Structure 1
Amino acid sequence: MMFITCLRTCLPPKIRSLVLQKKFNPRNISGMGGGPKQASVVILPRSFAEDFEKFCQANNGALPLLCRGEPGDWKLPTLSAGLDIRNNGPQYKKYEFGSCTDNLTSLEGYSEQLKDMVVFYLGCSISPKEAMQKMGIPIRNKESHCNMAIYKTAVPCSTVGSFCCPLVVTMMPIPKDKLEAILHDIYLTRGLQGEPIHIGCPDLLGIEDRSKPDHGEPLMLQPGDVPVFWASELTSLEAVSSCRSPLAFTSAPGYTVVFDQKDKSIQVSHPGEVPEVHCISQNPLQYSITSSSSVQKIRELENIIARDPGNRGIKYLFNKDELLKASLSLSHAHSVLITTGFPTHFTHDPPEETDGPPGAIAMAAILQALEKEVAIVVDERAMSLHRKIIEDSVNQGILKTTIPLLSYQGQEIGSAFMFLCKDRDPDSPRFDHLVAIERSGRTADGNYYNARKVNIKHLVDPIDDLFLAAQKIPGISSTGIGDGGNELGMGKVKTSVKRHIKNGDVIACDVEADFAIIAGVSNWGGYALACALYLLNINNIHERYLRRAVGLPTPSSRAAAWAQALPSVIKEEKMMRILVQHQVRSGVSGNVGMEVDGLPFHGIHAEMIQQLIDVTTM
Structure 2
Amino acid sequence: MALFKCAGMRRFLAHAVRLPTGLKCSTQANMKPGYQQANVVILHKDLADDFEAFCQANRSPLPLLYRSKCGEWGCPPLATGSDIREDCPEYCVFENGVLVKKIPSLSSYTPQLQDMVTFYLGCSFGFEAALKAAGVPVRNVEQGKNVCMYKTSVPCIREGKFHCQMVVSMRPVPHDKLDGAAQCTHMIPLAHGGPVHIGHPKLLGIHELSRPEYGDPVEACAGDVPVFWACGVTGVEAVQSCKPPLAFTHSPGCMFLTDREVETNSPHALEPEQCPLTFCISQNPQHYSMASKKAVKQIQAIEELAVKDPGARGIRALFVQDELLKTCLSLSHSSSVLLTTGFPTHYMHDPPEETDGPPGAIAMAAMLQALRKEVVIVTDERALEMNQHIMRDAVEKGVIKTAVPVISFQSNSPDSALHFLCRDGDPTKPRFDHLVAIERSGRAADGNYYNMRGVNIKHLVDPIDDLFTTASSIAGITTTGIGDGGNELGMGKVKAAVKAHMPNGTLIACDVAADFAITTGVSNWGGYAVACALYVLNLCPIHSRYLQKGLGPPPTSEQKSLWAACLPTIAKEEEMLHILVKYGVRSGKTANLGLEVDGLTFHPYHSDIIQQLGDLTLR
1:539 corresponds in structure 2 to 540
Task: Give the Cα–Cα distance (whole angstroms) in 2 for the partners of residues 180 and 361 of structure 1.
Answer: 35
Task: Give the Cα–Cα distance (whole angstroms) in 2 for the partners of residues 257 and 49 of structure 1.
Answer: 19
Task: Give the Cα–Cα distance (whole angstroms) in 2 for the partners of residues 192 and 260 of structure 1.
Answer: 15
2:122 corresponds in structure 1 to 123
1:437 corresponds in structure 2 to 438
1:6 corresponds in structure 2 to none
Q: Once the 2 structures are TM-superposed, how far is the Cα of residue 136 of structure 1 from its aligned partner?
A: 4.9
Task: Give the Cα–Cα distance (whole angstroms) in 2 for the partners of residues 134 and 507 of structure 1.
Answer: 53
Q: CA 1:51–1:467 in 2, change beyond 3 Å: closer, same or farther?
A: same
Q: CA 1:451–1:15 in 2, change beyond 3 Å: closer, same or farther?
A: farther
Matched letter for residue 387 of structure 1: Q
SS in 2 for 1:527: helix
Structure 1 moving runs of 4+ over 4 Å: 31-34, 135-138, 188-193
2:143 corresponds in structure 1 to 144
Q: CA 1:278–1:137 in 2, change beyond 3 Å: closer, same or farther?
A: closer
Once the two structures are superposed, what CA deviation does each residue of 1:110-158 show, in whole Å capped at 9, x if it has no partner? 1222222221111112665324433555432223221111111111111
1:79 corresponds in structure 2 to 78
Q: Which aligned pairs between 1:490-569 and structure 2 lie closer than 5 A? A: 490-569=491-570
Q: TM-score, normalised by structure 1?
A: 0.96
Q: Which aligned pairs between 1:302-381 and structure 2 lie closer than 5 A? A: 302-381=303-382
Once the two structures are superposed, what CA deviation does each residue of 1:443-474 show, in whole Å capped at 9, x if it has no partner? 11111111111111111110000000110000
Q: CA 1:457–1:548 in 2, change beyond 3 Å: closer, same or farther?
A: same
Matched letter for residue 148 of structure 1: V
Matched, 1:601 2:602: yes
Q: Once the 2 structures are TM-superposed, how far is the Cα of residue 184 of structure 1 from its aligned partner?
A: 2.5
Q: Which moved more, 1:550-559 or 1:586-595?
A: 550-559
Matched letter for residue 421 of structure 2: L
**Alpha-carbon contact 1:192-1:541 (below 8 Å) kept:** no
**Alpha-carbon contact 1:337-1:374 (below 8 Å) kept:** yes
Task: Give the Cα–Cα distance (whole angstroms) in 2 for the partners of residues 136 and 363 of structure 1.
Answer: 40
2:423 corresponds in structure 1 to 422
**Alpha-carbon contact 2:73-2:85 (below 8 Å) kept:** yes
Q: CA 1:355–1:136 in 2, change beyond 3 Å: closer, same or farther?
A: closer
Q: CA 1:296–1:317 in 2, change beyond 3 Å: closer, same or farther?
A: same
Q: TM-score, normalised by structure 2?
A: 0.95
Task: Give the Cα–Cα distance (whole angstroms) in 2 for the partners of residues 172 and 91 of structure 1.
Answer: 24
Task: Give the Cα–Cα distance (whole angstroms) in 2 for the partners of residues 311 and 239 of structure 1.
Answer: 61
1:406 corresponds in structure 2 to 407
Task: Give the Cα–Cα distance (whole angstroms) in 2 for the partners of residues 489 and 307 of structure 1.
Answer: 20
SS in 2 for 1:194: coil
**Alpha-carbon contact 1:31-1:127 (below 8 Å) kept:** no
Q: CA 1:137–1:396 in 2, change beyond 3 Å: closer, same or farther?
A: closer
Q: CA 1:29–1:423 in 2, change beyond 3 Å: closer, same or farther?
A: same
Matched, 1:17 2:4: no
1:207 corresponds in structure 2 to 206
Task: Give the Cα–Cα distance (whole angstroms) in 2 for the partners of residues 565 and 192 of structure 1.
Answer: 37
SS in 2 for 1:272: helix
Once the two structures are superposed, what CA deviation does each residue of 1:351-406 show, in whole Å capped at 9, x if it has no partner? 11100000000000000000111110001111111111111111111111111112
Once the two structures are superposed, what CA deviation does each residue of 1:322-349 show, in whole Å capped at 9, x if it has no partner? 1111111111111000000001111222
Task: Give the Cα–Cα distance (whole angstroms) in 2 for the partners of residues 416 and 32 of structure 1.
Answer: 58
Task: Give the Cα–Cα distance (whole angstroms) in 2 for the partners of residues 472 and 306 of structure 1.
Answer: 30
Task: Give the Cα–Cα distance (whole angstroms) in 2 for the partners of residues 214 and 547 of structure 1.
Answer: 23
Q: CA 1:289–1:271 in 2, change beyond 3 Å: closer, same or farther?
A: same
**Alpha-carbon contact 1:57-1:64 (below 8 Å) kept:** yes
Q: Once the 2 structures are TM-superposed, how far is the Cα of residue 418 of structure 1 from its aligned partner?
A: 0.7
Q: Once the 2 structures are TM-superposed, how far is the Cα of residue 437 of structure 1 from its aligned partner?
A: 0.2
2:160 corresponds in structure 1 to 161
**Alpha-carbon contact 1:33-1:263 (below 8 Å) kept:** no
**Alpha-carbon contact 1:408-1:461 (below 8 Å) kept:** yes
Matched letter for residue 287 of structure 2: Q
Q: Which moved more, 1:594-603 or 1:216-225?
A: 216-225
Which runs of 5 or more residues in structure 2 are unaligned?
A: none
Q: CA 1:235–1:604 in 2, change beyond 3 Å: closer, same or farther?
A: same
Task: Give the Cα–Cα distance (whole angstroms) in 2 for the partners of residues 76 and 10 of structure 1.
Answer: 15
Matched letter for residue 16 of structure 2: K
Task: Give the Cα–Cα distance (whole angstroms) in 2 for the partners of residues 565 and 31 of structure 1.
Answer: 51
Q: Which aligned pairs between 1:269-288 and structure 2 lie closer than 5 A? A: 269-288=270-289
Q: Once the 2 structures are TM-superposed, how far is the Cα of residue 162 of structure 1 from its aligned partner?
A: 2.2
Q: Once the 2 structures are TM-superposed, how far is the Cα of residue 190 of structure 1 from its aligned partner?
A: 5.0
Matched letter for residue 510 of structure 1: D
SS in 2 for 1:278: strand
Q: CA 1:292–1:135 in 2, change beyond 3 Å: closer, same or farther?
A: closer
Task: Give the Cα–Cα distance (whole angstroms) in 1 for the partners of residues 569 and 259 of structure 2.
Answer: 56
1:106 corresponds in structure 2 to 105
**Alpha-carbon contact 2:437-2:489 (below 8 Å) kept:** yes
Q: Which moved more, 1:339-348 or 1:215-224?
A: 215-224
SS in 2 for 1:520: coil
Q: Once the 2 structures are TM-superposed, how far is the Cα of residue 598 of structure 1 from its aligned partner?
A: 0.9
**Alpha-carbon contact 1:126-1:194 (below 8 Å) kept:** no
Q: CA 1:129–1:71 in 2, change beyond 3 Å: closer, same or farther?
A: closer
SS in 1 for 2:372: coil
Q: CA 1:526–1:296 in 2, change beyond 3 Å: closer, same or farther?
A: same
2:89 corresponds in structure 1 to 90
Once the two structures are superposed, what CA deviation does each residue of 1:513-545 show, in whole Å capped at 9, x if it has no partner? 000000010000000011000000000000000
Q: CA 1:32–1:401 in 2, change beyond 3 Å: closer, same or farther?
A: farther
Task: Give the Cα–Cα distance (whole angstroms) in 2 for the partners of residues 335 and 32 of structure 1.
Answer: 48
Task: Give the Cα–Cα distance (whole angstroms) in 2 for the partners of residues 357 and 456 of structure 1.
Answer: 19
Task: Give the Cα–Cα distance (whole angstroms) in 2 for the partners of residues 115 and 185 of structure 1.
Answer: 40
Task: Give the Cα–Cα distance (whole angstroms) in 2 for the partners of residues 466 and 339 of structure 1.
Answer: 10
Task: Give the Cα–Cα distance (whole angstroms) in 2 for the partners of residues 39 and 475 of structure 1.
Answer: 37
Q: Once the 2 structures are TM-superposed, how far is the Cα of residue 82 of structure 1 from its aligned partner?
A: 2.0
Task: Give the Cα–Cα distance (whole angstroms) in 2 for the partners of residues 451 and 231 of structure 1.
Answer: 51
Task: Give the Cα–Cα distance (whole angstroms) in 1 for the partners of residues 11 and 114 of structure 2.
Answer: 26
Task: Give the Cα–Cα distance (whole angstroms) in 2 for the partners of residues 250 and 191 of structure 1.
Answer: 19
**Alpha-carbon contact 1:453-1:503 (below 8 Å) kept:** yes
**Alpha-carbon contact 2:451-2:508 (below 8 Å) kept:** yes
Once the two structures are superposed, what CA deviation does each residue of 1:249-306 show, in whole Å capped at 9, x if it has no partner? 1111011112233323215232211011111111111111100111111111111111
Q: Once the 2 structures are TM-superposed, how far is the Cα of residue 181 of structure 1 from its aligned partner?
A: 2.5
1:38 corresponds in structure 2 to 37
Task: Give the Cα–Cα distance (whole angstroms) in 2 for the partners of residues 330 and 259 of structure 1.
Answer: 42
Q: Which moved more, 1:417-426 or 1:285-294?
A: 417-426
**Alpha-carbon contact 2:376-2:407 (below 8 Å) kept:** yes
**Alpha-carbon contact 1:35-1:262 (below 8 Å) kept:** yes
Matched letter for residue 480 of structure 2: T
Q: CA 1:146–1:78 in 2, change beyond 3 Å: closer, same or farther?
A: closer
CA RMSD of aligned residues (A): 1.7
1:3 corresponds in structure 2 to none
Task: Give the Cα–Cα distance (whole angstroms) in 1 for the partners of residues 608 and 505 of structure 2.
Answer: 30
Task: Give the Cα–Cα distance (whole angstroms) in 1 for the partners of residues 385 and 110 of structure 2.
Answer: 75
Tell me the matched-pair count: 610
**Alpha-carbon contact 2:131-2:185 (below 8 Å) kept:** no
Matched letter for residue 312 of structure 1: R
SS in 1 for 2:124: coil
Task: Give the Cα–Cα distance (whole angstroms) in 1 for the partners of residues 255 and 321 of structure 2.
Answer: 47
**Alpha-carbon contact 1:345-1:352 (below 8 Å) kept:** yes
**Alpha-carbon contact 1:352-1:585 (below 8 Å) kept:** yes
Once the two structures are superposed, what CA deviation does each residue of 1:528-586 show, in whole Å capped at 9, x if it has no partner? 01100000000000000000101222212101110111101111111111111111111
Q: CA 1:204–1:144 in 2, change beyond 3 Å: closer, same or farther?
A: same
Task: Give the Cα–Cα distance (whole angstroms) in 2 for the partners of residues 343 and 191 of structure 1.
Answer: 57
Q: Once the 2 structures are TM-superposed, how far is the Cα of residue 475 of structure 1 from its aligned partner?
A: 0.5
